[in-house]
Copies of this chain bind each other. A is one copy, B any other.
Amino acid sequence: MNPPEKPAETPPTSLFGGAPDAVTIYEVGPRDGLQNETTVLSVERKVEMIEDLVDAGIRRIEMTSFVNPRWIPALADHMEVAARVRRKPGVDYSALVPNMRGLDSATRAGMKEVAVFMAASQSHNQKNINKSTEAALATYREVVGEARSRGMRVRGYVSCVYGCPYEGAVPAQQVIDVSAALLEMGVFEVSLGDTIGVGTPRQVEHVFRSLLAAGLTMEQLAVHFHDTRGTALANITVALQFGVRTIDSAVGGLGGCPYAPGASGNVATEDVVYMLSGMGIDTGVDIDKLVGVSTRLSGLLARELPSKYLKAHMGHCARLGRSV
């Protein structure tokens, strides 16, 4: 009836036609979250947190990191935590391993899934894991092979996908190279990390378009956004348009930046679950139980957690009537 006057205003065809009906949340709060909190929880509280998250419907969870305690003192209790958590059938429990020693500990703790981690940028690898990109890949080739021969499955993390604190911009080709190398050595999934929370939606489009053009598939990819500058849900929105099926997040938005008390860390599980639910995408997570977990954690850590959904929920903001 009304012919469009301007072709630029033709509405885009369905934006979310490629989005999945269900997404798996990969909960990283006990690891990526707690490792960046100043308050260290006891083993009991950590075990309770993990079991409560599973009770809220989380089906994949990263419990701890089998790294040298001198590196990350907050996770020095990795053996006890990993050993004590009651496993629930159908749930995948994972933990980071930086090397063969970590893998041996994870094996003794009964882990069936582990994760290796490195950056897409040389200098971050050098400063964070004290290895060149090539040396890290060589180590992991051994670790991943050994883990698989022990019957474990292995996740790979690629960090600094959207920017490196030392190098700035990171070319997509480096993300492709490291991701492809990890997949080639046998990891079943690569989680693409925006470690310092600098990414924006067009970058996410560029990264996914580049990875798919290089032959990777959406089944092999997960997203791991930090919400440092508030862009995590926007970035996830783009990843959903590409069909991402696995999203990393931390209950309450735990973690944050050690230099900024109020700053956000990992994107909050509540915020992701709220948005996906509003989009008709199932996560299997009960958001009220989740809020129960973060409310308890907020008390234990003696700080307000960054999740915006959590704050709105606490304040019953839906009741706000006045204002435009």
A interface with B by C-beta (< 8 Å): 2, 5-6, 8-12, 14-18, 32, 35-36, 96, 117, 124, 127-128, 157, 159, 165-166, 193, 195-203, 205, 208-209, 212-213, 215, 217-218, 224, 227-231, 233-234, 236-238, 240-243, 255, 257-264, 268, 271, 274-275, 278-280, 304, 306-309, 311-312, 314-324
Q: Tell me if B259 and A319 are in contact (CB < 8 A).
A: yes
Alpha-carbon distance A240/B241, docked complex (angstroms):
14
Chain B residues in 8 Å Cβ range of A308: 227-230, 263-264, 306
If the complex has contacts A9-B212, A11-B208, A237-B237, are A274 and B231 also in contact, measured as CB distance less than 8 A?
yes
Residues in B whose Cβ lies below 8 Å from that of A316: 259-260
Beyond A12-B241, A231-B275, 17 extra complex contacts between A and B, CB < 8 Å: A11-B209, A12-B17, A15-B205, A117-B324, A165-B320, A165-B321, A166-B321, A196-B318, A198-B278, A198-B318, A202-B278, A228-B312, A229-B274, A229-B309, A230-B308, A233-B234, A260-B315
Verify A12–B231 contact, CB threshold 8 A.
no
The answer on a CB contact under 8 Å between B243 and A8 is yes
